[in-house]
Amino acid sequence: MRGAALIAALALTGCGHDPFADAQRAIDDGSARAAIQKQLDGYRQCATLLDGFLPLDIHADPGEAPMPGVAALTELGLIRATGTPEDRQAIRYAPTALARPLLEVRDIGADKKPVALCYGRRVVTGLTMKPRRLPSDATPQLVYRFRLVDAPAWARDPRVTRSFPGMPEALKNEHVSRDLVMYRDGKWAIGESGIESYLHDIALDRQYFAPCPPVSGATVHPCQRAMGGR
C-alpha cells in the first residue's frame, strides 16, 4: 500500500509540474539568454544584394550614371563592373574580394544564385516570456530583443547611409525578434522555422541593398522610373 501511495503521490507531483515556472527560472538565471545567443552566434544579419542573384545584372540606360546603390557599393570596393550581358540592357557586376567573405550565396540548381550581403550579427539584449493565453497551454514561448554588432566600416560610410537609408536605424536601434522561441525538454531554443531574417521595426530598403533609394512619399528617383517603379 505504501508503494502504491508513493507512486500516486509522485504522479500527482508530476501532473502539477509547471513548465512555465521552469522556463521563467531559465530566463531569470541567464541560461535562456546564453542558449539563444549560442544559436545566434552561428547566424549573420544579411540583406539581399542589388537584384538578388548572381551574376548581378543591373539595368543601365546608355550614357546614364550608375544607380545610387550601385555607385555606392562600387566606390566602396564591394562590387565591380565586369561587362554587359548579351541579352539585356544592363551592366554585369561581380562581388570583390572585400565582399566575398560577407556574402551568403544559395545554390538552387539554377544559373542564377540568390545572394545576400551580410553586415552584422545579433547580440541578445533582453528576454520576455509571452503571457500564458490558456490554462491548457503547455509550451512556454518568449520574445528576445537584440542589437546588431560587428558591422564593417563600410556599413557606416555616408555613401551607404545615403543610398540605403535604413542602415543607420538597423545599426543604432534595438530590435524585437519575431522568431518562434520555445521551451521544450528543459531548454529554450529557436524553433524549427529558424531565425527570422528581417528587421520588422525598420525598412532596410525593404530588406535589400537596392540599386535605387526607396520611394519617399510622392518623390520618385529617376532610377525608380527606369526600374518600373520598383
pLDDT, tens digit, for every residue of 201-226?
665 545 678 887 666 655 556 666 55
Distance CA 201, CA 213 (A): 18
- The full set of domain ranges for the chain reads 19-226
Distance CA 31, CA 2 (A): 39
Provide mean pLDDT across the span 134-146. Answer: 90
Is residue 6 predicted with pLDDT exceeding 60? no
Instruction: Supply the pLDDT for residue 177.
Output: 92
Poorest-pLDDT segment among 10-24, 43-57, 86-100, 153-167: 10-24
Instruction: Supply the pLDDT for residue 86.
Output: 79
Is residue 11 predicted with pLDDT exceeding 50? no
**Percent of the chain topping pLDDT 90:** 56
pLDDT, tens digit, for every residue of 98-114?
999 999 998 887 788 99
**What are the Cα distances from residue 86, in Å, to 52, 92, 111, 113, 121?**
20, 10, 15, 19, 38
Is residue 33 predicted with pLDDT exceeding 60? yes
Confidence of residue 128 (pLDDT cuts 50, 70, 90): very high
Distance CA 155, CA 34 (A): 27
Provide mean pLDDT across the span 137-161. Answer: 95
Is residue 10 predicted with pLDDT exceeding 50? no
**Percent of the chain topping pLDDT 70:** 82
Provide mean pLDDT across the span 6-29. Answer: 70
Most confident of 12-16, 82-86, 93-97, 219-223: 93-97
Angle between helices 31-40 and 19-28 (to 10 degrees): 80
